C-alpha cells in the first residue's frame, strides 16, 4: 500500500512489500516513518490553527496541522484532552487511510499529520478540530495550492547598449501560501535585492557596462515547501561600440644625422589595453610612460626610411600614423639645413639640402670650399686657398711698380679710379638686414643684351636689375638664371645707425655727370656722354661680424 511495490519471494503466491521512497514502512507499507512524539514531524509543512480558515498546501507533500483553543477572556491557551479530528462528519483515528493519518496531542494542542494528503483529502474538503471540554471547534477548508516560477519583465534575452539603464521586474504568478522573492546574480550567486513577500520586486541596473552581461534570476521560495526553489532567469546581453585607440602626435619628424631625435605620441583608449608597434626598418628604441610613447632615433649616417606607428587595442581595432620623415644630413659644425631646399618630395621622406658655411661646400658640407675659384691673381699668379674653417684665398704681392692687393694691381703712374664724388642730395636706406631698395630708372637700360627699367640696390653691396637679389654670400659669375648684377662691394652687412646706403638718380646738367663723363672719356680714350647715372654709396659699411667700421 501507499505506493509500495510487491516483490515475489517464494512462488507461486508469497510476496513482500518494497516501501522505499514511500515515507512508510512495515510488511504492508502502512506504518509511517514520520515520528511525531506529540509534535509536528521535522521537515514537513507545519500549520497551527486558532480559528476557521482555508489552507493552501501542496497535497503531494506531508503536512502537519496543530489545533489550539484560546480563552478569549484571559487570552491563554485552553488545555484539553478530548480533542477529535473529523473529515467532514467522519471522525479520524490514528492510522486511518492506510497509515496516512497520524494523530497525537499535548496538553493544549491536537496534531493531525497527513503523510500523503491527497490520499486523505481533496481541494474543497473540510477538516474539523473540536473539543467538548473547551466548547470550541475550528473548520479548516482545503484550498488549491499553486507554486509556479515567478513572472519577469522583460524576459528571455535582453540586449542593451553599454552605458544605458534597465529595470527588471519580478511578479507573483498567483502562488499560494507565503512565497518570498529575491533577485540573484548568477555569476557569483550574490543577492541583489532584499527578500520580500509582496511583489512586484524591481531590480534597477544603471550605467551598464560590458561586465554586467550574464544571467539575472528572480528566485521564489515558499515557507510551506522548505527546500523547494522556483526560478525565472533573464539573460542580459550588453552591446557596446568599440572605438580604436586615439593617437595624438606631430605630422612630421625631424632628424639630424649624428644627433638623437625624439618623436612623442600620446595614445589613449579609455578602459582598454593598448599595444604599439613600429612598421619600418631603421634603428630605434620605443619607451612608454603611461599614455606617452617616445620613439628614440639616432642616425650615425644618412639612412632613407619611412615608418608607421600602429596602436592596437584588445579588440584588435587599430589606429595608425605615418609622419613625414625629414632628415638633415649636414655636418653639424659646417652648415645648416633649410626647409626651403630639399632633395625630393615624391614620397613621405624629405631629405633637406645643406646651406654650408662660407668655408665649406659639397652635398653635406663635407668639402673645404676653394677660395681660389672666386678670384684670379694679377697676371695669373698662383692663388692659395685659405684652409677651412678659414675663408678666402691669398695672392702673391703685386709686381714692382704696381700697387694693390695682388688681385688688383695698378701702375703707380696712372690712376684707374674715379675720384670720390657726392651728388648735391641723396636718399638714405638704413636699419635693414639683407634687404634692397627699389629704384625706377629714368630710361630703359641695355645691359648684357637685356632691357631693364628698375634697379635694386642691396644692403649687401650690390646692384641687381630686373629683380631684387640680396644674397649675403658672394658667388662666381655668371649667377643663376642669367641674373644681371653689378657688385662693387658684395659682402654680408647690416644697415643700422651710421651704417647707411646712400643713393640717388642724377641727371641733367649736374656737375657730377660732367665729372664722370670727363673721367671716363680720359680713361677710355673715347668720348663718353652719360644722360643720367645711378649713384650708390655704402657709408660706414664693413662685414657683418665686425663691430666698428671706417669710411
pLDDT, one tens digit per residue, over 421-448 is 778 788 999 888 889 999 999 999 988 7
For cell 638714405, the residue is 428
pLDDT of 160 higher than 70: yes
Spatial distance between the Cα atoms of 42 and 62, rounded to a whole number of angstroms: 10
Residue 99's H or E segment, with its range, is helix 96-99
Per DSSP, the chain holds a count of helices (H) and strands (E) of 3, 47
Residue percentage of the chain with pLDDT more than 90: 44
Half-sphere exposure of 543 (CA within 13 A, CB side): 4
pLDDT in tens, 162-203: 889 999 999 999 887 778 999 999 999 999 999 998 899 999
Band (pLDDT 50/70/90 cuts) for residue 10 is very low
Spatial distance between the Cα atoms of 327 and 142, rounded to a whole number of angstroms: 96
Residue 512's H or E segment, with its range, is helix 511-524
Report pLDDT for 448: 79
Spatial distance between the Cα atoms of 299 and 303, rounded to a whole number of angstroms: 7
Higher pLDDT, 15 or 375: 375
Spatial distance between the Cα atoms of 381 and 402, rounded to a whole number of angstroms: 14
Asked if 437 and 503 count as a contact pair (C-beta separation under 8 A), the reply is yes
Residue percentage of the chain with pLDDT more than 70: 87
Asked if 431 and 495 count as a contact pair (C-beta separation under 8 A), the reply is yes
Spatial distance between the Cα atoms of 262 and 245, rounded to a whole number of angstroms: 21
pLDDT of 343 higher than 60: no
Band (pLDDT 50/70/90 cuts) for residue 267 is very high
Spatial distance between the Cα atoms of 30 and 24, rounded to a whole number of angstroms: 6
Strands 201-205 and 166-171: antiparallel
- Dig out the grid coordinates for 146 from the structure: 499553486
Report pLDDT for 25: 46
- Dig out the grid coordinates for 379 from the structure: 697676371
- Within 8 A by CB and 6+ apart from 541, the residues are 461, 489, 493, 495, 499, 549
Among residues 541, 537, 507, the alpha carbon closest in space to that of 427 is found at 537
Average pLDDT over residues 220-235: 85
Which stretch of 58-72, 120-134, 219-233, 248-262 has the lowest confidence by average pLDDT? 219-233
Higher pLDDT, 522 or 282: 282
Report pLDDT for 9: 42
Identify the structural domains of the chain with CATH numbers, from first to last: 34-143 (2.60.40.10), 151-239 (2.60.40.10), 246-369 (2.60.40.10), 375-411 (no CATH), 427-539 (no CATH)
pLDDT of 37 higher than 90: no
Average pLDDT over residues 476-495: 82
Report pLDDT for 551: 42
Average pLDDT over residues 509-530: 76
Average pLDDT over residues 487-494: 86
Spatial distance between the Cα atoms of 297 and 299, rounded to a whole number of angstroms: 7
Name the phi and psi angles at 514, rounded to 5. -60, -45
Average pLDDT over residues 106-132: 94
pLDDT in tens, 448-473: 788 899 999 998 889 989 888 888 88
Spatial distance between the Cα atoms of 363 and 66, rounded to a whole number of angstroms: 112
Average pLDDT over residues 260-282: 93
- Within 8 A by CB and 6+ apart from 155, the residues are 232, 234
Report pLDDT for 16: 47
Which stretch of 31-45, 433-447, 481-495 has the lowest confidence by average pLDDT? 31-45
**Mean pLDDT, rounded, of the chain:** 84
The CA radius of gyration of the chain, in Å to the nearest whole number, is 58
DSSP β-bridge partners for residue 313: 274
Average pLDDT over residues 106-124: 94
Average pLDDT over residues 303-310: 92
Is the peptide bond prior to 200 cis by the omega test (within 30 degrees of 0)? yes
Question: 174, exposed or middle or buried, with CB in 10 Å at 0-12, 13-18, 19+?
Answer: exposed
Average pLDDT over residues 98-116: 93
pLDDT in tens, 537-551: 888 887 776 656 654
Cβ atoms < 10 Å from Cβ of 108: 18
Spatial distance between the Cα atoms of 467 and 482, rounded to a whole number of angstroms: 12
For the chain, helix, strand, coil in percent to 5 are 5, 45, 50
Band (pLDDT 50/70/90 cuts) for residue 12 is low
Band (pLDDT 50/70/90 cuts) for residue 30 is very low
Report pLDDT for 525: 62
Report pLDDT for 215: 96
SS3 23: coil
Among residues 372, 380, 393, the alpha carbon closest in space to that of 476 is found at 372
Spatial distance between the Cα atoms of 15 and 57, rounded to a whole number of angstroms: 36
Which stretch of 4-13, 130-139, 194-203 has the lowest confidence by average pLDDT? 4-13
Ordered strands of the 463-465 beta sheet? 436-447, 450-458, 463-465, 484-486
Spatial distance between the Cα atoms of 486 and 538, rounded to a whole number of angstroms: 14
Band (pLDDT 50/70/90 cuts) for residue 277 is very high
Amino acid at each position: 500500500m501507499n505506493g509500495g511495490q510487491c516483490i515475489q519471494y517464494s512462488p507461486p503466491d508469497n510476496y513482500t512489500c518494497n516501501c522505499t521512497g514511500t515515507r512508510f514502512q512495515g510488511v504492508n507499507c502502512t506504518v509511517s516513518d514520520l515520528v511525531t512524539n506529540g509534535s509536528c514531524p521535522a521537515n514537513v509543512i507545519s500549520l497551527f490553527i486558532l480559528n476557521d480558515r482555508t489552507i493552501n498546501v501542496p497535497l503531494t507533500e506531508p503536512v502537519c496541522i496543530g489545533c489550539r483553543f484560546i480563552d478569549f477572556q484571559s487570552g491563554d491557551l485552553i488545555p484539553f484532552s478530548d480533542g477529535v479530528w473529523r473529515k467532514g462528519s467522519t471522525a479520524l483515528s490514528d492510522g486511518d487511510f492506510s497509515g496516512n493519518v497520524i494523530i497525537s496531542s499535548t496538553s493544549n494542542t491536537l496534531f493531525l499529520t497527513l503523510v500523503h494528503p491527497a490520499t486523505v483529502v481533496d481541494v474543497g474538503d473540510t477538516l474539523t478540530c473540536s473539543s467538548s471540554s473547551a466548547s470550541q471547534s475550528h473548520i479548516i477548508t482545503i484550498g488549491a495550492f499553486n507554486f509556479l516560477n515567478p513572472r519577469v519583465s522583460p524576459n528571455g534575452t535582453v540586449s542593451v547598449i553599454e552605458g544605458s539603464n534597465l529595470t527588471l521586474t519580478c511578479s507573483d504568478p498567483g502562488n499560494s501560501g507565503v512565497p518570498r522573492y529575491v533577485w540573484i546574480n548568477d555569476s557569483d550567486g550574490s543577492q541583489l535585492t532584499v527578500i520580500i513577500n509582496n511583489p512586484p520586486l524591481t531590480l534597477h541596473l544603471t550605467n551598464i557596462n560590458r561586465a554586467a552581461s550574464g544571467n539575472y534570476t528572480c528566485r521564489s521560495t515558499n515557507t510551506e515547501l522548505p527546500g523547494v526553489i522556483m526560478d525565472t532567469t533573464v539573460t542580459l546581453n550588453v552591446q557596446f561600440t568599440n572605438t580604436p585607440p586615439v593617437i595624438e602626435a606631430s605630422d612630421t619628424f625631424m632628424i639630424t644625422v649624428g644627433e638623437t631625435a625624439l618623436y612623442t605620441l600620446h595614445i589613449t583608449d579609455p578602459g582598454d589595453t593598448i599595444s604599439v608597434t613600429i612598421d619600418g626598418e631603421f634603428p630605434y628604441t620605443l619607451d612608454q610612460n603611461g599614455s606617452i610613447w617616445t620613439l628614440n632615433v639616432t642616425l650615425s649616417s644618412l639612412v632613407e626610411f619611412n615608418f608607421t606607428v600602429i596602436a592596437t587595442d584588445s579588440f584588435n581595432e587599430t589606429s595608425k600614423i605615418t609622419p613625414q620623415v625629414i632628415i638633415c644630413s649636414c655636418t653639424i659644425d659646417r652648415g645648416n639645413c633649410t626647409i626651403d631646399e630639399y632633395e625630393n618630395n615624391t614620397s613621405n621622406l624629405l631629405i633637406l639640402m645643406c646651406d654650408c658655411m662660407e668655408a665649406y661646400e659639397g652635398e653635406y658640407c663635407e668639402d673645404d670650399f676653394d677660395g681660389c675659384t672666386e678670384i684670379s691673381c694679377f697676371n695669373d699668379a698662383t692663388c692659395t686657398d685659405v684652409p677651412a674653417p678659414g675663408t678666402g684665398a691669398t695672392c702673391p704681392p703685386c709686381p714692382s711698380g704696381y700697387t694693390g692687393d695682388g688681385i688688383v694691381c695698378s701702375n703707380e703712374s696712372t690712376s684707374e679710379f674715379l675720384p670720390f664724388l657726392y651728388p648735391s642730395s641723396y636718399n638714405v636706406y638704413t636699419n635693414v638686414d639683407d634687404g634692397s631698395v627699389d629704384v625706377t630708372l629714368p630710361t630703359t637700360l641695355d645691359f648684357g643684351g637685356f632691357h631693364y627699367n628698375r634697379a635694386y640696390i642691396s644692403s649687401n653691396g650690390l646692384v641687381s636689375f630686373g629683380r631684387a637679389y640680396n644674397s649675403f654670400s658672394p658667388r662666381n659669375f655668371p649667377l643663376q638664371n642669367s641674373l644681371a648684377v653689378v657688385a662693387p662691394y658684395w659682402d654680408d652687412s647690416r644697415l643700422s645707425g651710421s651704417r647707411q646706403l646712400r643713393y640717388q638718380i642724377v641727371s641733367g646738367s649736374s656737375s657730377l655727370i660732367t665729372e664722370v663723363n670727363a673721367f671716363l672719356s680720359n680713361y677710355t680714350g673715347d668720348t663718353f656722354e652719360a644722360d643720367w647715372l645711378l649713384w650708390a654709396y655704402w657709408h660706414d659699411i664693413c662685414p657683418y661680424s665686425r663691430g666698428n667700421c671706417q669710411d
